[in-house]
Each structure stands twice: as C-alpha cells, then as structure tokens.
A and B are shown apart, each in its own frame.
Chain A
Amino acid sequence: MKKKILGLLTLMATMLIATGCQIKGEVMNVVGSSALQPLVESAGESFSKIHPDLYVNVQGGGTGTGLAQVQGGAVDIGNSDLYAEEKSGIDASQLTDNRVAVVGITPIINPDLKVSNLTLQQLSDIFSGKITNWKDVGGQDLPITVINRAQGSGTRVVFESAVFKNGEKAIKAQEQDSSGMVRQIVATTPGTISYSSYSYINDSVKTPAVDGVVLSHDTVVDNSWKIWAYEHMYIRKDMQKERVHEFLNFILSDDVQDNIVNKMGYIAIKDMKVEKTLDGQVKSIE
C-alpha cells in the first residue's frame, strides 16, 4: 500500500513540475478593489470569449493590495476606488491611471426610519457624532447608530471627503468590512445609518435624498448628486503586455460601457457631463 501512495506522490510531483513548465493559455492578473471586482470580472468573461486562450483572473483583496501589487509588478492591473495619489505608500508617478467607471455613493438607512431627506450638513453632523438622535433630523425618537466601512476603505474615503467639508472627525463607531455586510446590518438593525455604492443598493435598505436630490444615473452625470468617485484600473507605466492595453480599451469601449457598466449600477465614463479632479474640483466637459 505504501508503494502505491509513493507512486501516486511521484506521479503528482511530476505532474506538478510538468504543468509548471508549460501552461497552455495566458493569464492576466487583475487585483484590488472589491467594489470594482464584479464589473471587471464580467468584462473579463466577455473578453475571454473573444480571446479563448486568455484568462482574465480578477481578484479582490482591497484597494491597498491592488495598488501595492501593481506597483511591485506582481500583477498586471491594480483596481482601485481611489486615486493612487490618495493612498500613502504608493508612488503614483510610476503608474498610469485608467478611469473605467463612475460610482455614486449614497447614505443608506434602516427602512423603518421616517426620514426621507437629509442635508449634507446633517450627514456631516451625524457621522461626526454631533447629532445622535433621529428626532433631530425629522425622524422618530431613536438613537442613531452609525456603521462605518473599515478605515482606508475607498467607499469611506469618498464619502467622508464629500461630507466632511471642514475637517470634521468621524466618531468612533462600528466598522464593517464589505458593502454586503453593511447593507445587511442596516437592513436589520433599528436606527442604523451607513453608506454604500449604488451598485449594492436593493430594497432591503432605504436611501434618503440628499439636499433634495435622489441618486440616479442622471443626477450623477451632471454632478447634482455630489457624492461620487471614479473607479480606476492602474497599470505600470512600463507595462509591455499588449493584451493588457487591449483589455483596458475593451472595457472603455461603448459596448462594455453601455451593456455592462451601466447595467451593473455603475455609470459609464462617456456619459459624464462633468469631470472631478484629484483635489475635488468639478468642472463641466464640453
């Protein structure tokens, strides 16, 4: 019996070595932001249909991981919710930015709350801990429970930079790792408020209007909805692989932008009527 096991092991070992030497098919590694992952994954699937010998391997792991690994050359493309300049420890001058989509971020509240509109100022007061009861913003008498995304999360950075205009500090609150968790907790816990990118919103949570504006494709494209950001796919400046450039062009093509990006709750780059610069200035595109 031992011989059999030994034989099997040898077989396995040879197989591993053999496979290690020559894999038939090319792999393109895309790592980073989990918010962007579903989008790139489905674009990758369509891309593989055109190029059957190519496999686009899309992994989450977070914006930090994506940027660090693309900078280190360990992966081909790094997905990020933030500009590389906004992330400490990243040398943005080595990287080329590709903005592939826009994502709108909205506050979400427990569906039992009787609040349907919040001002940016109220949001700022709630998330910095100045307002602690829903009755102060027109709701019932119920303490406010804030759920934040994890420190360093792209969604959180975008939300806080849009809401905290005067250097307010976030209160110490519960933190959650992922959009799905946040949504589930807000849906089931009375008095909770959090925020989420538009692609994750469903009926289980309530999305109040902000300053009277309701989040939609049309309100984001003309910047009447203020809380939004670009989704980035970074590559190294010295990227040689032709397939990588081809893939980025593919994602920016009208077909993908219309049929995948817009359908998944993101907003196509080409639909945008305004542009936001790194320091938050918004100007309109002709």
Chain B
Amino acid sequence: MNDPIRESMLKKSKAAKRETFGKTISFLAIAVIVAVVAAIFYFVASKGISTFTQNGVNFWDFLTGSTWNPGSKGADGKPLVGALPMILGSFFVTILAAIIATPFAIAAAIFMTEVAGKKGTKILQPVIELLVGIPSVVYGFIGLSVVVPFVRSIFGGTGFGILAGTFVLFVMILPTVTSMTVDSLRSVPRHYREASYALAATRWQTIYKVILRSAMPGILTAIVFGMARAFGEALAVQMVIGNAFTVPNSLTTPASTLTSVLTMGMGNSVMGTLSNNALWSLALILLMMSLIFNLVIRWIGNKGGNTK
C-alpha cells in the first residue's frame, strides 16, 4: 500500500537533506584546514627539533646563547647557535609596534564608526584596504630611504635598528588592526548605544564605558593579529633593522629578528645540515611565541568578557 503522505512524512525532507549536506561539506572544509595546519606544525616541529636531537644542541643554550654562527663551532666544540639576540629583537619590535599602533587604530576605528559617520568611513576604509595591498618589499624600501635616514639624523648612528623596524611595522600593521577593530565596534548592538544615550551619557562616556568594553575581545583579537603580522613580517623588517646578531642594547643600534635571520639564511644553507635545521628551530620558536601570545590575549579576553 502506497500512501504518498505517509511516505513524504517518513522520508527526509529536502531541507533536512540539504542541512546534512551543508553540515558535511562545511565540516570537510574545516577538516582540510585543520589537516593543513597540522601538516605545517608537524613539518616545522620535526625539522626544528632535529637541531636538538640530531645535532645535539642544548635547548637551553639555544634560547640563551648570544652568538649565532651555525657554520662554525665555539671554544667548547659545540655549534654556535644562540638565538637570544633574535628572540629579543622580535619581541621588542613587535611589542613596540603594537603599543604605538593600538591607540591609533582604536582612535581611527572610533572615528569611523562613532564620530564621523558614513563620510569618515568612506574616506578611511578604502585607504586602509589599499595599504594592506602594498607589498612588504615596498614598505621596506620606503623604510630604507625615508625612515632610516630620519632615525639617523635624530639619534645618530647608522639609523638601522629596532626603532626603524618599529616605525615600519607600525605603519604595516595599522591597516590590519584598524579594520578589524572597526568590525568589532560595528558588531556592538545598536541598543547598547541607545541605552547609554538614554541614560544621558555623553558620546565619549558611551564610547569609553559601553562600546569599547563590549568590543574588547574583538579589539584584543585585532591586536593579536596585528602582532602576529609584525611577528611574521620578514622582508620589510630585514631591510631596516640592520641584521646584526647582537643582543640589542639600544633602540638605534643594529639588531635582528627571528624572521629576518630565517629569510636571509634559508637560501644559503643546505637542507639537512645544522645551519638549515637551526633556522627551522627559529621558525619553531616563532610558532611557540605566537602560541604564548595567543593564550595570554585569550585569557585577557575571557576576563574582559566576564566583567562586561
């Protein structure tokens, strides 16, 4: 007995099928991404760890040593792979650039979303998006021909160093941080603002006490991304920081970052040798450092979210 109604009730509806389909393919997509992430992690980790397992470098010496010359051996017969100068250099430029960029990015975002309205957005947004598309090489060359001489004329020395790197990175991460901050300010529901104004708060009070707090996790994410970009940026920084493997003792003497050493050394070393493995260890440190940053910011974000 064929009852069409019974059949259609029992069969999965079209919508349900589509739902399954959608869920499946979106799951597959995330699975692909996770697989890729895992592959890259494994790749970097396995190559980076071999410095310590195959070449017998002490991990602690690697982190705290201050001489980087993988091609030759030190007085104690151990390879000279001390990454401290680069680790400090990376930390300094990243944190300094983020410290300078954050207030500017937040101000620009507030300007675009709260103060100037549509007109401000119309001017600023395209300019900011345009800046993301400038290749880091071009940033580097502008840094080399404008920022470095500028630093030199004010602070003396050669002009190459952490300060020049900070300036270049500041401009480079500004668009990323700003546009993400704008997104998070925009996603604050309108009734928050209305409620605040209804309580007779001024615009600044509304911005400061309501909007910024409610958007805090988003802003923090924006900063992490900015720092991540600063961290991972190689070509531009490499041109202005001077690439000297010394522990930085001032902002205007040549220093180096993890990425600049990585980029410079890769082509000049043979895969599988210590010189090459040591570079992958730097990449591994880079990953671990951004993991730590990430966890810290997440923790702050959670705290902010709870008190909201």
**Residues of A participating in the B interface, judged by any CB pair closer than 8 Å:** 34, 60-65, 67-68, 87-90, 145, 150-154, 172-177, 181, 184-185, 188-189, 192
Compute how far the CA of A89 lies from the CA of B267 in the bound complex, rounded to whole angstroms.
14
In the complex with contacts A152-B275, A174-B158, A188-B149, A64-B269 CB distance below 8 A: yes
> How distant is B244 from chain A, measured CB to nearest CB, in Å?
5
Partner among A89, A153, A174 whose Cβ is within 8 Å of the Cβ of B270:
A89
A/B interface sample: 7 pairs, CB < 8 A: A89-B272, A151-B265, A172-B244, A173-B254, A174-B160, A174-B244, A189-B159
Residue of B nearest to A154 (CB): B268
**Residues of B participating in the A interface, judged by any CB pair closer than 8 Å:** 69-71, 144-145, 148-149, 152, 158-160, 238-239, 242-246, 254, 256, 263-273, 275-276
Residues in B whose Cβ lies below 8 Å from that of A60: 267
Structural contact, B273 and A88, CB atoms closer than 8 A: yes
Partner among A89, A154, A188 whose Cβ is within 8 Å of the Cβ of B145:
A188
Residues in A whose Cβ lies below 8 Å from that of B267: 34, 60-65
Residue of A nearest to B235 (CB): A177
Structural contact, A174 and B243, CB atoms closer than 8 A: yes
Compute how far the CA of A258 lies from the CA of B210 in the bound complex, rounded to whole angstroms.
75
Residue of A nearest to B149 (CB): A188
Q: Which 5 A-B pairs have the closest CB atoms?
A: A62-B267, A152-B268, A89-B270, A89-B273, A150-B264
Q: Among the interface residues B70, B269, B275, which one has the most CB atoms of the partner chain A within 10 A?
A: B269
Structural contact, A189 and B270, CB atoms closer than 8 A: no
> How distant is B104 from chain A, measured CB to nearest CB, in Å?
29
Partner among B149, B268, B272 whose Cβ is within 8 Å of the Cβ of A63:
B268
Residue of B nearest to A153 (CB): B268
> How distant is B240 from chain A, measured CB to nearest CB, in Å?
10
Residues in A whose Cβ lies below 8 Å from that of B71: 88, 151-152
Residues in B whose Cβ lies below 8 Å from that of A151: 69-71, 265, 268, 275
17 other contacts beyond A89-B273, A151-B70, with CB at 8 A cut-off?
Answer: A64-B268, A64-B270, A65-B266, A68-B270, A87-B270, A88-B270, A89-B271, A150-B243, A150-B264, A150-B268, A151-B69, A174-B243, A174-B254, A175-B256, A185-B144, A188-B144, A189-B159
Residues in A whose Cβ lies below 8 Å from that of B148: 188-189
> How distant is A21 from chain B, measured CB to nearest CB, in Å?
25
Compute how far the CA of A185 lies from the CA of B149 in the bound complex, rounded to whole angstroms.
11
Compute how far the CA of A62 lies from the CA of B262 in the bound complex, rounded to whole angstroms.
13
Structural contact, A174 and B242, CB atoms closer than 8 A: yes
* Chain A binding surface SS class: mixed
Residue of A nearest to B141 (CB): A184
Structural contact, A172 and B270, CB atoms closer than 8 A: no
Compute how far the CA of A99 lies from the CA of B238 in the bound complex, rounded to whole angstroms.
32
Compute how far the CA of A67 lies from the CA of B271 in the bound complex, rounded to whole angstroms.
10
In the complex with contacts A90-B270, A173-B244, A175-B243, A152-B265 CB distance below 8 A: yes
Residues in A whose Cβ lies below 8 Å from that of B238: 177
Residue of A nearest to B243 (CB): A175
Compute how far the CA of A61 lies from the CA of B267 in the bound complex, rounded to whole angstroms.
5
Structural contact, B272 and A176, CB atoms closer than 8 A: no
Residues in B whose Cβ lies below 8 Å from that of A176: 243, 264
Structural contact, B144 and A184, CB atoms closer than 8 A: yes
Residue of A nearest to B246 (CB): A172
Residue of A nearest to B275 (CB): A152
Residue of A nearest to B85 (CB): A172
Structural contact, A172 and B245, CB atoms closer than 8 A: yes
Compute how far the CA of A175 lies from the CA of B269 in the bound complex, rounded to whole angstroms.
15
Compute how far the CA of A152 lies from the CA of B144 in the bound complex, rounded to whole angstroms.
24
Residues in A whose Cβ lies below 8 Å from that of B264: 150, 175-177
Compute how far the CA of A43 lies from the CA of B149 in the bound complex, rounded to whole angstroms.
39
Compute how far the CA of A230 lies from the CA of B136 in the bound complex, rounded to whole angstroms.
34
Compute how far the CA of A203 lies from the CA of B30 in the bound complex, rounded to whole angstroms.
55
Compute how far the CA of A136 lies from the CA of B275 in the bound complex, rounded to whole angstroms.
36
Residue of B nearest to A32 (CB): B267
Compute how far the CA of A185 lies from the CA of B140 in the bound complex, rounded to whole angstroms.
12
Compute how far the CA of A89 lies from the CA of B238 in the bound complex, rounded to whole angstroms.
27
Structural contact, A189 and B158, CB atoms closer than 8 A: yes
Residues in B whose Cβ lies below 8 Å from that of A87: 270
> How distant is B54 from chain A, measured CB to nearest CB, in Å?
12
Compute how far the CA of A227 lies from the CA of B160 in the bound complex, rounded to whole angstroms.
29
> How distant is B55 from chain A, measured CB to nearest CB, in Å?
12
Residues in A whose Cβ lies below 8 Å from that of B270: 64, 67-68, 87-90
Residues in A whose Cβ lies below 8 Å from that of B256: 175
> How distant is A2 from chain B, measured CB to nearest CB, in Å?
11
Residues in A whose Cβ lies below 8 Å from that of B242: 174
Residue of B nearest to A172 (CB): B246
Residues in B whose Cβ lies below 8 Å from that of A34: 267
Residue of B nearest to A69 (CB): B271
Residues in B whose Cβ lies below 8 Å from that of A65: 266-267
Residues in B whose Cβ lies below 8 Å from that of A172: 244-246
Compute how far the CA of A222 lies from the CA of B35 in the bound complex, rounded to whole angstroms.
59
